[in-house]
Structure 1
Amino acid sequence: MSLVPVAELLKKAQEGHYAVGAFNCNNMEIVQAIVAAAEAEKAPVIIQASQGAIKYAGIEYIATLTRLAAEKASIPVALHLDHGTSFTQVVQCIRNGFSSVMIDGSKLPLEENIALTNKVIEVAHPLGISVEAELGKIGGTEDDISISEREALFTDPAEAERFVKEAPADALAIAIGTAHGQYKGVPKLDFERLKEIRKRVNTPIVLHGSSGVPEDAIREAVSLGVCKVNIDTNIREAFVAAARLVLEQNPKEIDPRKVLGPAREAATAIIREKIRIFGSNAKA
């Protein structure tokens, strides 16, 4: 089937009280792993391309690989720009067939974030393309900040309410304690903040930086209204670990298929596990 908009998937997720997995890709094998996992679990799925992925693989390659995978798949597949940083990049992704884009204006003052998001909505929505926005700052593992500073980065529920009224995006990424990359400790999510945001906002909620978040915490976040959960680091860890094991056991191996094949299988396995945690299995 053709690529579908993320808004279509999240509407059903919100109604069904589950979350759709959004998995980052960097190469052909990971695209194949994402779709294979979704097929096996009979789940809708979102394939995401980050700034790094676009720079590494090229926007045309990612779009073509994902479009081909979607055409051959029996489950709904969306292609999403993850953390788009400029209007120009969003337009490039739209031109290359992405079915969904994220504009990340979270580092901007609220009014500027709203204005930038609306600019993207104006070009994307007439084409049937979904838009994700972000409010609040999601840190990285290099951040060394105190609890008070950490909470200052979290999404303010009142601002979230204003944001969705003035910039009606199809999904809103919020900051409640997750971080990008590998965690140094166990992340603690602010579920009370999530509950308050959910009371004020009916827009589907997105949880970024979810690799390394305990399974029970993810399940609780989904039960409280998170409809899209992003996973990247866990896929990289599984993929590289499997490739490394092959090379450690066979130092003279020169066939990339024998190295990347097991890596693809490992990525498929971890993605299937995440899909079941999100509750989107058997929802396609």
Structure 2
Amino acid sequence: MSIQDNAMTAERVRLLLQQAHEGGYAYPAINISNLDTAIAAMQGLQQAQSAGFVQVSIGAAAQASPTADPVEGSIILGRMMRDLRASFHVPLILHTDHCHADDVDRWLEPLLHRLAYLKSTTGEKLFDSFMFDGSHDEIHDNVATIERLLPLVQAVDGVLEVEAGGAWGGVEDGIADQAKFSTPEDVALIQQAFERAGLDEHHYLLAVAFGNAHGTALTPDLHPELLQHITQETGKANYFVFHGGSGSSDEDIHQAVAFGVVKMNIDTDTQYAFTAGVDEFFERAHGLQRSHKEGKAYFDPRKWNAAGRQSMSQRVVEYAQLLGSAHRAVRVSYPTTAGE
């Protein structure tokens, strides 16, 4: 297989999803915000010998831009991740995470136009999949936005991830008290939107709300059996995404994967792991005069960033093992420059 054959295309992403679905496992999806967290995520996946998603949110993209422009920041982070990926040999899918409907006009849609321009003029491809979060919209508005975004995603050889109704619980979502659940009826409307575009349920990723909680939230009250119910009611075995996976019980995770989850987002736990590694590093440095020459081994950012990386990578390995994706990756090589 040639290097170009190993490029991460939409077809290859779908093949990886198919393998997970048929094999009864799921891929970790790790959010990154800078160079160190990106390396930690990729190193963890390689150590686990697992494929996985490495993804950026609108907040991370805005932070990466000197002008807080999420489109510019996405390009900056996308190029960084693409170049880093060339040093690893497991399938790494570069993904833009949750774009709520209110952010489509200022982030996802202009980003897709910018990526189409880069692809047509230089052959540069930065992201492999994209997530539109219409969970807060009325379902018909959600479908309309999906139909608007789908051709733009296809134009950059990407895979689209969407949500079918419902709403996640958690402070990050403005729903601190309870979650709303997706319904088979909402899922069917989303499925029909893709069918009108000539795509079946294996051409996209579908997140549904089954009690999930994002970020700092109440303990999630998960009902993974809802995934099975939706599959039975719609007659279609979608590639499901488990959002808000951090803090879930092993039993709930295993059941969700058994009912069709192929991707699980674990942002909070991996953020915590990175910070905990840094915190433990400084705990060991307690009592040293950091202004003294001897203290440089501790206050040098390279030192404590390395501790954060190691801690976060280990957490990624643990999740790959929990999800069953560890030791399943096929070795790949990536083009190192655009259009190569």
TM-score (norm 2): 0.77
Partner of 2:273: 238
For 2:91, the equivalent position in structure 1 comes to 76
Deviation, structure 1 residue 260: 0.7
Q: Does 2:123 correspond to 1:90? A: no
Alignment partners' CA distance in 1, 2:47 and 2:241:
24
Q: Does the CA-based 8 Å contact 1:3-1:70 persist in structure 2?
A: no
Within 5 Å, give how 1:39-54 maps onto structure 2.
39-54=46-61
**What is the alpha-carbon distance in structure 2 between the residues aligned to residue 70 and residue 202 of structure 1?**
31
Partner-residue secondary structure (3-state), 1:14: helix
How many pairs are equivalent? 278
CA contact 2:36–2:305 (8 Å) conserved in 1: yes
Question: How far is the alpha carbon of 1:162 from its aligned partner?
Answer: 2.4
Who is 1:138 aligned against? 168
1:163 aligns with 2:190: yes
Deviation per CA, 1:81-113, whole angstroms, max 9, x where unpaired? 111230552244443421111111111111110
Amino acid at match of 2:303: K
Taking the TM superposition and a 5 Å limit, the aligned residue runs for 1:1-284 are 2-5=7-10, 6-57=13-64, 58-85=73-100, 86-94=104-112, 95-96=114-115, 97-135=126-164, 136-141=166-171, 143-145=175-177, 150=179, 153-167=180-194, 170-185=204-219, 187-199=220-232, 200=234, 201-251=236-286, 252=290, 253-284=298-329
Aligned-residue Cα RMSD (Å) equals: 1.9
TM-score normalised per structure 1: 0.91
Q: Tell me the distance in 2 between the aligned counterparts of 1:3 and 1:29.
A: 22
C-alpha separation between the residues in 2 aligned to 1:69 and 1:38?
A: 13
Contact 1:7-1:171 within 8 A present in 2 as well:
no
Distance 1:18 1:154 in 2: 23
Identity %: 29
Please identify the structure whose Cα radius of gyration is greater. Answer: 2
Say whether the 8 Å CA contact 2:9–2:157 is kept in structure 1: no
